[in-house]
Structure 1
Amino acid sequence: MLVKSEAELPADIAKAHADARHAVLDAVVNVLDQGVVADRFRPVGTRVAALGILGICNWVAWWYHPDGSVDIDAVSELLAEMAVAGVQRADDRKLRDDRPGAVIAMLREDLDHLERLISDQ
């Protein structure tokens, strides 16, 4: 409801709401940063990814109507799955270790794959 009525909030509540929004964004960015460092998430721009994930969450307020025609639990599961899939690193794309050589090895695999694709054309 706050998403739909932000413009109507009194100044003190609007400030508290804006502060809370920034705190939530910072928390999601922090989770994503930790996931990238732990090699659980792809190395993405975490602020943009966080804004996208929060957008997925916030957009529901514009189209969901609790009339029973849409199973909110199913919607929640699907949207959460989509958000995680957007940042998650596939198991076969996880670095073998933290050394730069591991990154170079992954890049070589990608370049080899690209060269095979090009040579097949």
Structure 2
Amino acid sequence: MAWLLLVVAGLFEVVWAYFMKQSAGFTRLWPSVATLGFMGISFALLGVSMKTLPMGVAYSVWTGIGAVGALIVGVLVLHERLNALQVLAAALIVGGLVLMRVSTPQA
């Protein structure tokens, strides 16, 4: 259950990052409110998952999901461009997340 909560927390991190971009530096009210709300949900779920999972693993996985997820949203939704090295970097992050998962005992 902790892993599921951690994945959901990471997905909410992607959502708040998107709304932070939409807030234009916190100058637009509703995207700013959405950013803070989704950030709170993400942090709360991360905290619950840390009750069972090691802190370093949980935080690494959370940030990795957020980083790769935000990259994907940037490309698919915001039409940002990627180069080959950025794709490689994202693949390495995903590989690291998989290694974190398989090297950590079930929680």
TM range (shorter): 0.3 to 0.5
TM-score (norm 2): 0.43
Computing the radius of gyration over CA atoms, which structure comes out larger, 1 or 2?
A: 1
Q: Which has the higher contact order (CA 8 A, sep 6+)?
A: 2
